[in-house]
Structure 1
Amino acid sequence: MFAFDRRTGPDLGVDYPARDVPGWYRDAKFGVFVHWGLYSVPGWAYPGPEVDVELAYSHHQYAEWYANTVRIPGSPTADHHERTFGVGASYEDLADQWQPKAPEGWMALFAECGARYVIPTAKHHDGFCLWDTATTRFGSLHRGPRRDVVAELADSARAEGLRFGLYYSGALDWHVSHFPPIRSTTDLFTFRRNDEAFARYCFDQVAELIERHAPDVLWNDIDWPDSAKAAGPYSLSTLFERYYDAVPDGVVNDRWGVPHLGFRTREYTTEGRTTPWVWEATRGLGRSFGYNRAEDDRHLIGPVELVHLLADTVAKNGNLLLNIGPRGDGTLPENQVERLRYLGAWLRDHAGAIYGTRPWRRHAEPSGVPVRYTVRPDGALNVIVLDPSVGRFRLADDLSGNIATWGDGPAEVIDGYVTIPERMRELPAAVLVTEYSSVE
């Protein structure tokens, strides 16, 4: 178990207690993020090329930001929306057009591909709620699907043995706000509500999700209304207490704006080395989280690169939360599914290199053939070779005297060099297991 230091928020007058990151989360290593909502109906975002920073929001690469980007005059999204839906059509009008069938086969696919947990969006920044909520009629019970989408996903995930978490947008809700569109990172933290009424609105919504679905992960985004960060009956500290009472082995992320967190998050980026804290790398299979019909294979992460991303993340004490963006009708993009299956096939054959492992004294070597290290529960060390096509590589000096196997037989080690069997040289990564038992 991994604990953060007990810390008190500055000027908040409330103590946020330390929490251990639960063992199930540390062992899981791989989860699937699902961004599916009203934004999946247009399913469009600017696909590139890269733009200057001052255009990053008008040319936003995230399709789930459609409700903001469409309000920026002259943006590619505004132009696309007018051509597709007509002059004067609002984003929220699309709610009645979203009439998907119940998602079928998603969770079985995720489990087959090696995921141990799944986190769909319950409410994104557009404010459209995907569960049976008493707080608003702008949601899937009264518009569009006219169903409790979160309940459907929770039931199907748990039926497949997956841990079930929920994403929630805590600081941004454009449906109940009247700010101009966000055009910069400064705007991102300025054009948001911090009043007590909105804080209570968010409290009540997450309290519903906790009571009805007991999510194993509460994955908040951006921040939380400032007025709820101090002590009080509808404060964030009270919400955490309610959550942990309901889900004792639950875990939260780091995007609440208070000194309490379970794991840190890194979005489309990584840590430079093994960290003392538990963290989670998250990204889409493409450049967007929500489905973007403008993307094609050129915008997606390569299959081999995906395997390497998982190995690198786990070696650095992280989990990989990989996003898939379903279409509005509930079908999954075929090229994204292909990549999930590729990763799943490698995981099935190399489960011991990933699941339940812990980081070693270093995650890699500074030179030579690229490798990543993870430690099995029994203390054996995995040496994950990221380019098996080289045919052989040199073990680090502190490993060269150890017995090593390829899982199905002993490895040939001559003068510190390991020969990679021919059958493994076309793999995206090969795993050598040594009996090195010193874990630091």
Structure 2
Amino acid sequence: MPNRRAALLALAAPMLALHLPLHAADAEQAPAQLTTVPGPFRADAGSLKTYQAPAWFRDAKFGIWSHWGPQSVPRAGDWYARNMYVYGSDQYKHHLAKYGHPSKFGYKDIIPLWKAEKFDPEALMALYKKAGARYFVSMGVHHDNFDLWDSRYHEWNAVKMGPRRDIVGDWRKAALKAGLRFGVSEHLGASYGWFATSHGYDQIWPMLGVAYDGADPKYESLYHRPHNQPYRNSASWYTTDKRFQQEWFNRITDLVTRYQPDLLYTDGGIPFGAVGRTLIANFYNASIANHGGKLEAVYDHKDIGSGEFIREAGVQDVERGVMEGINPLPWQTDTSIGDWFYSEGYKYKTTTEVVHMLADIVSKNGNLLLNVVQYPDGSLPPEPQQFLKEMAAWMDVNSDAIYGTRPWKIFGEGPTKAAAGHFQENTAYTAQDIRFTTKDGALYAITLGTPTGAVRIQSLGRKAGLEPRPVKAVTLLGSATPLRWEQGDDALTIQLPATLPSAISSSFRISF
């Protein structure tokens, strides 16, 4: 999430500049040693642009993500491992009050506190499936440089410490048992610069100049070696250090080889040039080999942060935002029902907000990947539990307007214009805002609110010119009551029954 907490970087910059030595050799190392998987894809943009998203992803529309790990333990929100070392930040103050000074009690000491003692992946997956998820994504490794699997190349992992179990493997078993597609997310690429704050120190007395625990060479494998390439802004999201690029390649290759996910999410652009492109080509070629010659893999990446963005090479991911209109290629929004990691007092999205986002995204040829926040112990807070219950009820009625659909000629109509781009997700819709999807020759019209009296769809007026065929029938999903409707020159007007199947949103199936 490269654009987050820009103000904190201003606090961190002088500390990093003072403390981190320059290693001239950082940019002079040999290129990474890259193994390749045989197949049609090569590690160049032209080859990767031949990619086409598989049907399962285009049909699934809705996935749930577990953005969960040791950073949940302090209950103080996202980017804790970095910001606990940013003097004066809220998370630094939280850490000081709860655990002590980061020179004595650092992130390495948070990790053993993550026990995941109530983590029941099968029970959670049953809830996620009932709520409508067709794919599930496990965190593989966040920027905190802690692997959630039995990592072959990294001692700081969840099997050797913390919960002492294979979190990725357990999620995978549960997802496949429930019939969901399985994915993993990797945020490792940015860790090298992101975690540089751990090598700093306080800016005032009484601890001025006392190095944080990240500067201790004993813990270099967690906090990274001293370097002069800290994360300051999106342009410095990825390092030029070839040694770390090799480490990234080895660890993420281990992750996707061992668990064979159908989806791999990178938190940024494609990392490290040819290194990242090679990993993607290998990921695709392995998928083809493992699925009898059929490509089933999806690679998500973003057009923000450093790194390459090759739109056609995979699926474009938009963080906490949406596209302006129908994108010709499939894409995905990733967002969270709350903070990315559990945070006390954080305001959660309502089910209404999530449903309206989902309908808007699907109408524009996208998918929604939603993080469902977990407590440090692996159980769910009451707000996500309530959301899953309400989402299941809405999907039980309206899923036919979502799954397996494709965009219509326009994505929708109505008075509200949604802001487009990353970190633009707080649009307040009305019942007059309507989104369209199509499937099997029918058109679905989804209201982004609770209509009263009648629904007018101007795009289906005879004079609108969008649909040459006259309307033949109109039904309300979840209702057996016959509807009265009239297709006039200006609009298709649908008279509503006395009661609606859902108070969140209504879906009409229109045949011609």
Q: Which residue of 2 aligns with 1:30?
A: 62
1:50-76 Cα offsets, whole Å, 9 max, x none, are xxxxxxxxxxxxx1x111111111111
Q: Which residue of 2 aligns with 1:83?
A: 97
Q: Distance in 2 between matches of 1:13 and 1:391?
A: 53
Identity of aligned residues (%): 28
Q: Please state how far the C-alpha of 1:228 moved relative to its aligned partner.
A: 3.8
Contact 1:68/1:182 (CA < 8 Å) preserved in 2? Answer: no
Are residues 1:320 and 2:368 paired? yes
Are residues 1:41 and 2:73 paired? yes
Q: Which residue of 1 aligns with 2:18?
A: none
Aligned pair partner of 1:405 in 468, 475, 485: 475
Q: Which residue of 2 aligns with 1:420?
A: 496
My pick for the range that moved more, 153-162 or 99-108, is 99-108
Q: Distance in 1 between matches of 2:501 and 2:129?
A: 27
Q: Which residue of 1 aligns with 2:324?
A: 272
Are residues 1:294 and 2:345 paired? yes
Q: Which residue of 1 aligns with 2:220?
A: none
Q: Distance in 2 between matches of 1:83 and 1:230?
A: 40
Contact 2:474/2:510 (CA < 8 Å) preserved in 1? Answer: yes
Contact 1:69/1:75 (CA < 8 Å) preserved in 2? Answer: yes
Code of the residue aligned with 2:385 in structure 1: it is V
Give the 3-state SS of the residue equivalent to 2:353 in structure 1: helix
Q: Please state how far the C-alpha of 1:106 moved relative to its aligned partner.
A: 1.1
Code of the residue aligned with 2:167 in structure 1: it is V
Give the 3-state SS of the residue equivalent to 2:190 in structure 1: coil
Are residues 1:200 and 2:200 paired? no
Q: If the length of structure 2 is used for normalisation, what is the TM-score?
A: 0.73
Aligned pair partner of 1:385 in 437, 447, 457: 447
Q: Distance in 2 between matches of 1:381 and 1:16?
A: 34
**In the TM superposition, what are the counterparts of 1:206-221 in structure 2 within 5 Å?**
206-221=252-267
Provide structure 2 residue ranges, at least 5 long, that are not aligned to the other structure. 1-39, 196-222, 416-430, 463-469
Q: If the length of structure 1 is used for normalisation, what is the TM-score?
A: 0.84
Aligned pairs, number:
402
Q: Which residue of 2 aligns with 1:66?
A: 80
Contact 2:256/2:283 (CA < 8 Å) preserved in 1? Answer: no
Q: Please state how far the C-alpha of 1:412 moved relative to its aligned partner.
A: 0.5
**In the TM superposition, what are the counterparts of 1:120-131 in structure 2 within 5 Å?**
120-131=138-149
**In the TM superposition, what are the counterparts of 1:237-276 in structure 2 within 5 Å?**
237-238=281-282, 240-242=284-286, 244-246=288-290, 248-255=295-302, 257-259=308-310, 261-276=313-328
Are residues 1:346 and 2:394 paired? yes
Distance 1:101-1:39 versus aligned 2 partners, 3 A rule: same
Code of the residue aligned with 1:365 in structure 2: it is E
Give the 3-state SS of the residue equivalent to 1:226 in structure 2: coil
1:220-274 Cα offsets, whole Å, 9 max, x none, are 112454264488xx66544554455446311111246253532111111111222
Q: Distance in 1 between matches of 2:502 and 2:378?
A: 35
Distance 1:393-1:258 versus aligned 2 partners, 3 A rule: closer
1:73-120 Cα offsets, whole Å, 9 max, x none, are 111110000101112310121111211226211111101111000111
Q: Distance in 2 between matches of 1:258 and 1:242?
A: 22
Are residues 1:431 and 2:507 paired? yes
Code of the residue aligned with 2:355 in structure 1: it is V
Q: Distance in 2 between matches of 1:209 and 1:391?
A: 54
My pick for the range that moved more, 273-282 or 421-430, is 421-430
Distance 1:124-1:311 versus aligned 2 partners, 3 A rule: same
1:140-168 Cα offsets, whole Å, 9 max, x none, are 12111111111111101111111110001
**In the TM superposition, what are the counterparts of 1:362-373 in structure 2 within 5 Å?**
362-367=410-415, 369-373=432-436
Aligned pair partner of 2:151 in 124, 133, 150: 133
Q: Which residue of 1 aligns with 2:184?
A: 166
Q: Please state how far the C-alpha of 1:195 moved relative to its aligned partner.
A: 2.7
Code of the residue aligned with 1:200 in structure 2: it is Q
The higher radius of gyration belongs to 2
Q: Please state how far the C-alpha of 1:43 moved relative to its aligned partner.
A: 2.3
Q: Which residue of 2 aligns with 1:51?
A: none
Contact 1:82/1:89 (CA < 8 Å) preserved in 2? Answer: no
Q: Please state how far the C-alpha of 1:431 moved relative to its aligned partner.
A: 1.3
Q: Please state how far the C-alpha of 1:201 moved relative to its aligned partner.
A: 1.4
